[in-house]
Structure 1
Amino acid sequence: MVISPELRALAEYMAGEFNNQAQALADPVWYVHLHLWHRPVPFNLFPEPSLILFAEQANIVNLNQPYRPRFIQLRSSLNPEFPLEAQYYMPQNISQVQGAGQDPERLQHLTPEDLKLLPGCTLNITYQVLSPNHYRFKAIPPKDQICCFSYQNKTYQVELGFEATQDEFFSYDKGIDPTTGKPLWGAMLGPFQFQKQSCFASLLPNDL
């Protein structure tokens, strides 16, 4: 498999700095004003061709305290119904990469051992062609898949999902109570609607 034009477009759309200021001002009860970073990892850590983003976010009033660090591996799929997919990973050492959204030097010395695979945390991705070389991507979890991870001896369940265009990123991520299956935090009334403020597409690797 190779890096298809659609896969590169998805990575370029996602690579950037975002915020949901307009949404937070319009509906502050349900939507916190967040800053979101998707920083390209400037090299591939996996045998198959893929593009990797480091993601974290922060409340606008505490930009120096980012949280939810994760890695997103974007790759092609052999499933003709879902030609692309996203696989999520946790950092093995959170302190090693925390803050890399604003300080990308923290990503320069990563190895495959620095990433922890999250089984069940994969998204199937489809796309709609809006015009030549312009797309709308939609990522959804496979049916009956459960995304869980452990942190500090506690198990967390997350329902992932997103949509991406050239200028917007909509996050459907929700924390789920593993006992009741009810959402606890996140996009409980609809997606967080992020607008791109800065583009990091030029930092994506070209030769894989």
Structure 2
Amino acid sequence: MSSTSSLKLLAQALAGVFDNQQQAQDNPTWFVPTRVWQYPLSQPIDGHYAIFIEQAPLLKLEQPYRQRLMLLSHPDGMPLQVVYRAFRHPEAIAGAAREPQRLQSLQSQDFIELPGCCLQVIQASDRFIANPPQEARCCFDYQGKTRQVELGFDVTPDCLYSRDRGIDPDSGKGLWGALMGAYEYRKHHPFPLPETWTDLP
């Protein structure tokens, strides 16, 4: 399969509205009911196709959080890659997943690079599997403290299995997220890729 076809299939699998309502009902101790929006931007960011990500408690959709950007690429001779960026002013973009017209003006200067916050993606028979490169550490500053996140996901056309979890950068102890296995987000509504995504890199 060509790199263009693989990247398009990955993007199509990632784009949509997801939630883990069933998983949270089955195991409420460990899984918080959450909705995730992954909305593809019509404009490239630094020459890459990008997906805006936002999530919210399923019972409090008016309180979105964890806004971030996912850049997709397929460098020659290398695996598919996902690179994450943070918003300089996340409070200014909060809620945009449900008002996507607000995303049309986003530009490179609206984001902060996150060294180490990247994934390499391989394509299996029925899914894409994304894991960080060896020795990669995804760290960022938040409220005056260094935070670390272990990233990773599997995605099929119908489900996103998120392995993201926050960890203590000193002890390595898990603090939040997928502490007892992946969050299983079922796709309820797909987002079509923009017409501008006709020449995927």
Same fold, TM-score > 0.5, yes or no: yes
Aligned-pair CA distance for 1:202: 3.7
Q: Is the 8 A contact 1:146 1:157 kept in 2?
A: yes
Name the counterpart of 2:170: 179
Aligned-pair CA distance for 1:201: 2.1
Name the counterpart of 1:65: 63
Name the counterpart of 2:153: 162
Distance in structure 1 (CA, Å) of the matches to 2:181 and 2:76 = 30
Aligned-pair CA distance for 1:43: 1.0
Distance in structure 2 (CA, Å) of the matches to 1:204 and 1:176 = 39
Matches within 5 A, 1:84-163: 84-130=80-126, 136-163=127-154
User: Residue by residue, what CA displacement relative to the aligned partner does 1:145-199 show, whole Å, maximum 9, x if unpaired?
Assistant: 1100112322210000001110100100000101101110000110000000111
User: Residue by residue, what CA displacement relative to the aligned partner does 1:95-153 show, whole Å, maximum 9, x if unpaired?
Assistant: 221111111122110111011110000101000134xxxxx100001111110011232
Q: Classify the secondary structure of the residue corresponding to 1:118.
A: strand
Aligned-pair CA distance for 1:4: 0.7
Distance in structure 1 (CA, Å) of the matches to 2:12 and 2:192 = 5
2:114 maps to amino acid: L
Q: 1:69 to 1:35 in 2, by over 3 A?
A: same
Q: Classify the secondary structure of the residue corresponding to 2:59.
A: helix
Distance in structure 2 (CA, Å) of the matches to 1:152 and 1:204 = 39
Q: Classify the secondary structure of the residue corresponding to 1:113.
A: helix
Name the counterpart of 1:10: 10
Q: Classify the secondary structure of the residue corresponding to 1:77.
A: coil
Aligned-pair CA distance for 1:79: 4.6
TM-score (norm 1): 0.90
Q: Which runs of 5+ in 2 are unaligned?
A: none
Structure 1 residue ranges, 4+ long, deviating more than 6 angstroms after superposition: none
Aligned-pair CA distance for 1:51: 1.9
Q: 1:202 to 1:146 in 2, by over 3 A?
A: closer
| Identity %, equivalent residues | 39
Q: Is the 8 A contact 2:40 2:193 kept in 1?
A: no
Distance in structure 1 (CA, Å) of the matches to 2:152 and 2:67 = 16
Name the counterpart of 1:55: 53
Q: 1:120 to 1:79 in 2, by over 3 A?
A: farther
Pairwise CA RMSD:
1.6
Distance in structure 1 (CA, Å) of the matches to 2:158 and 2:23 = 15
Q: Is the 8 A contact 1:3 1:75 kept in 2?
A: no
The answer on 1:25 being equivalent to 2:16 is no
Aligned length: 198
Q: 1:182 to 1:118 in 2, by over 3 A?
A: same
Q: Which runs of 5+ in 1 are unaligned?
A: 131-135
Distance in structure 2 (CA, Å) of the matches to 1:58 and 1:93 = 18
TM-score (norm 2): 0.93
